[in-house]
Amino acid sequence: MNPRYAWIRQLVAFALLLAIWEAAGYAGLLNPLYAPSPSKIGAALIDLFSDGRIWPHLEATFTAALGGLALGIVVGIVLGVIAALIPAVAELLEPVMTLLNAIPRVILAPLFVIWLGIGLASKVALSFILVSVLIFFTVFSGIRQVDRRLVERIITLGGDRWALVRHVYLPSVTAWILSNLKVAVGFAFTGACVGEFVAATRGLGYLLSFAQSTYNAALMFALIFLILVVVLVIFAAAGRLEKYLLRWN
């Protein structure tokens, strides 16, 4: 088996699965109310795009997820660096972050709706809180594991604290952040969709909740598929970024 062609085999297996699923639907083995056949799901998907009503929803979810992701990464890095360098800050911040890390953070969704309304802000906030805690710990523990020898090198060459952050800490945590970037992307979309699920007038999460209330399984599957594709596209972009930033490795 040539590993280079693994994706072909995976594709064939996937097509086969869809074919069996479709056939089972035709044979009346599956209740279309719960498990609509792939062709019905495909039709629902085409429907979403053909009349253009999907776009505002996609835009809402994307904006919320990417906004929360960007904010969460920036704030996570800044807090992580500060906490790692200033013990007094770590003393205050670490317990809070540990607590936030321990709870399922999506339970904050209703609170954000009360505070920030049912618009975009509450979704961004949920994405943000999911991502920033993850990135904080990535950076905080990453800096603590930095190679001491590199730190000593910079000091003996006359580098100050800022030089350490710029030339040693940030580059070495970049690798850690990138390895967690895919998880962060997943978190960001979780935050956006769950936020929309709780209370919203737009977004993929809102559509899902609508599909649930109308018992529209085909629409649900179509939406799940759509979110899957969106996340995969972002993963591919993240992979390219990783390759570029870690080219020294």
Partner 1 sequence: MSLVGPSGSGKSSLLRAVIGLQQPSAGTVDPEVAQHEIGMLFQDDALLPWKTARENVALGLGFRGVERASALAQADDWLARLGLAGFEHRFPRHLSGGQRKRVALAQVLAMKPKLLLMDEPFASLDAIVRARIIQDVAELVEREHIGALLVTHDLEEAISLSDHVYLLSQGPRARLTRDYAVPIPRPRDPVRARTHPAFAPLYEQIWNDLSREVDRDQAQEAAE
Candidates 38, 42, 159, 186: give the one binding partner 1 (CB under 8 A): 159
> How far from 74 is each of 45, 69, 79, 142, 246, CA to CA, in Å?
35, 9, 9, 16, 19
CA separation for the pair 215, 213 (Å, rounded): 6
Instruction: Identify the H or E element spanning 245.
Output: helix 217-245
Q: Which two tokens stand for residue 178?
A: 């990138």
Report the distance separating Cα 152 and Cα 141, nearest Å. Answer: 19
Check residue 59 for interaction with partner 1 (CB under 8 A): no
Provide the sign of the torsion angle of the four alpha carbons 226, 229, 235, 237, taken in this order.
negative
Binding of residue 144 to partner 1 (CB under 8 A): no
- Among residues 78, 85, 100, 154, which is the contact residue for partner 1, using CB under 8 A? 154
User: Residue 141 and residue 149: Cα distance in Å, rounded?
Assistant: 17
Check binding of 243 to partner 1 (CB under 8 A): no
| Cα–Cα distance list, 7 to 4, 10, 79, 173, 233 (Å) | 8, 5, 40, 32, 16
Give the one residue of 12, 33, 91, 160 binding partner 1; rule: CB under 8 A. 160
Question: Segment near partner 1 (CB under 8 A), from 2-10, 27-35, 171-179, 227-235?
Answer: 171-179
Instruction: Using the rule CB under 8 A, give the single segment among 67-75, 107-115, 145-153, 184-192 that binds partner 1.
Output: 145-153
Among 9, 53, 144, 153, binds partner 1 (CB under 8 A): 153
Least Å distance, CB 166 to partner 1, is 10
155 binds partner 1 (CB under 8 A): yes
Tell me if 244 contacts partner 1 by CB under 8 A: no
Dihedral angle computed from the Cα positions of residues 116, 118, 121 and 124, in that order, rounded to the nearest 10 degrees:
120
Rank residues 96 and 155 by Cβ distance to partner 1 and give the closer one: 155
Site string for partner 1, 172-211 (x = CB under 8 A): x-x-------------------------------------
**Would you count residue 213 as binding partner 1 (CB under 8 A)?**
no
Radius of gyration for the alpha carbons in the chain, expressed in angstroms and rounded: 22
Residue ranges of alpha helices (H) inside 148-203 are 148-156, 161-164, 170-198
Nearest Cα to Cα of residue 129 among 148, 167, 163, 101: 101
Least distance between partner 1 and beta carbon 164 (Å): 11
Judged by CB, which is closer to partner 1: 155, or 233? Answer: 155
How many residues sit in the footprint of partner 1 (CB under 8 A)? 20
Tell me which residues touch partner 1 (CB under 8 A). Answer: 147, 149-150, 152-160, 163, 167-168, 171-172, 174, 248-249
